[in-house]
Chain A
């Protein structure tokens, strides 16, 4: 029996579609068109074909930002996954008060990325920042101004990653915990009886079983990390010397600051296309829409 006719489907989808059409699809269409033009500050358009796209991939284009984005994703998501996994294994233990501890651990989960960025900016300040003060006290740094987290091109991207890791590790932990909780406990019992060590239980039973959850969490995080804007903007605005500039930052700067609408649109189109392809490829292997619909 067909519960929803094609007409009803369209009718129900329409109100939402108007919103999404105006503020999601229309902007993208505008950008695709703009990306083939050179647009002056006064708004006059000259058709230049693929020149904006070529410019993006040549020296002085967005290759540096592309590299930064990849480094950011690898570093932030990599660390989040490792720390989140380790935390989940600890937090899996049940004892009196374990629920309270788990809740507290998840408290930063919903904090605004902007606030996270501001917090870490304050903490990583070179003179009155508490991070360097603590590092000096435990003897890692000789002097509290040895690492200029936000002003040194070597450290700025890493500093942004640290704020990201702080903000989103609880998410990874939560996903892993959820995966561990649906694990069939009889499997672990059997392994224990067979004499598997704690370490073997983790590697041979827990990890393989939470793989699907972990992959989903990874795909969500990779896309979010690629899109990160607020944290980096709050901490460094992409500087110094564009050392922490990622693709979202350069697109925004090119649009809002340098007013090069055509070029920025071309970069945005490439970026969105890359994210969409990643999503579809990733989803295809995990999830099949047809199978799900039936």
Chain B
């Protein structure tokens, strides 16, 4: 009986390893391609592993686009917008969660609805607004738009974290004479660090991975990495090698961070979903 279980378990283990390898195949393929020679990427028939290890594609990437600048643009827009969304979003969510007013129920529903809005439909009015403000092709434009469209997400995540914090803490601070803001800043936020970390990582990735907003709002100066990558879409086959190199450079940090911060990612995705 015991042996039978262990055989079944071994099959399960083997299967899960095979499935993982199978699932990671596309990503490993891109990584392999980025280290091939340019001509080998489009060789017929295609080979999985590079015949010769080469950094030709990375040279091609930097020759074809200002990759370093785009990388910095993506990074600064993502980080600054995330910090803004996090500060303002967590403050607003705190007030909504702790206030018993009828208005707060309305605000919760409003935030939820705003979270559902597809960017592809509202991006053109946003474009017009940014042009009218004279902010076209600036990092400021990206920062404020990312901060705005990711804010409902931050609020939604933080709402579920605040819920787990007993209101007795707030009451104690109130009795000690703390103002609402002091309570939030000195009592609640420090306990919420895991929640803030989760919201931070998610919002950072949302902004980092964005393509559409940057596509419409930037042209040269503030262009982000995704828009640069999309430039390869209309490219000739010869450019597919550099495209792989670009995809690798862009997503490698993401993979590393998501492996390192998996705890927060898991709790962010399952927040509110797993509660008896």
Question: Which residues of A are at the interface with B, using a C-beta cutoff of 8 A?
Answer: 1-6, 8-9, 11-13, 15-17, 19-20, 22-28, 30-31, 87, 90-91, 93, 95, 98, 101, 103-115, 118-123, 127-130, 133, 144, 166, 169-171, 174-175, 178-179, 182, 198, 212-213, 216-217, 223, 226-227, 229-230, 233-234, 237, 248-249, 251-252, 255-256, 261, 264, 267-268, 271-272, 275-276, 279-280, 283, 289-290, 292-294
Contacts and interface: CB of A to CB of B under 8 A. Distances in A.
B205 A3 contact: no
Given A95-B13, A166-B23, A174 B269 contact: yes
Contacts of A227: 118-120
A23 B148 contact: yes
Contacts of A144: 45
Closest 9 pairs (CB-CB, A-B):
A27-B125, A12-B95, A268-B121, A23-B148, A112-B209, A248-B120, A4-B99, A227-B118, A19-B148
24 contacts: A3-B167, A3-B183, A4-B98, A13-B107, A15-B91, A23-B126, A90-B12, A101-B20, A105-B20, A106-B266, A109-B258, A111-B255, A112-B209, A113-B209, A114-B226, A128-B43, A175-B270, A178-B274, A179-B273, A179-B274, A198-B8, A213-B273, A275-B118, A292-B163
Interface string B190-220: 0000000000000001001101100010000
A182 B23 CA distance: 26
B78 to A, nearest CB: 11
Interface centre among A2, A16, A248 (most CB of B within 10 A): A16
Nearest to A110: B258
Contacts of A294: 100
A20 B151 contact: yes
Nearest to B13: A95
Contacts of B247: 115, 118-119
Contacts of A213: 270, 273-274
Contacts of B116: 223, 272, 275-276, 279
A6 B120 contact: no
Contact of B103 (A9, A24, A95, A261): A9
A279 B112 contact: yes
A280 B272 CA distance: 16
A13 B20 contact: no
A23 B217 CA distance: 13
B79 interface: no
A91 B16 contact: yes
Contacts, number: 299
Nearest to A267: B121
A20 B269 contact: no
Contacts of A271: 118, 121
Contacts of A95: 9, 13
Nearest to A179: B274
Contacts of A107: 24, 27, 255, 258-259
Contact of B272 (A19, A120, A216): A216
A252 B20 contact: no
B41 interface: yes
A118 B243 contact: yes
A4 B259 CA distance: 39
Given A9-B99, A227-B119, A128 B15 contact: no
A293 B118 contact: no
Interface centre among A1, A22, A248, A293 (most CB of B within 10 A): A293
A119 B27 contact: yes
Contacts of B222: none
B117 A24 contact: yes
Given A23-B129, A226-B118, A12 B46 contact: no
Contacts of B205: 110
Interface string B89-105: 10110111011110111
A229 B99 contact: no
A23 B127 CA distance: 10
Contacts of A106: 258, 262, 265-266
B48 A130 contact: yes
A123 B117 CA distance: 31
Contacts of A283: 112
A110 B121 CA distance: 23
B177 interface: no
Contact of A255 (B19, B89, B124): B124
Interface stretch (B51-59, B65-73, B229-237): B229-237
A234 B229 CA distance: 10
B140 interface: no
Contacts of B48: 130
B99 A6 contact: yes
A103 B262 contact: yes
Given A12-B180, A272-B118, 7 more contacts: A93-B16, A110-B255, A112-B211, A115-B250, A122-B243, A166-B26, A293-B100
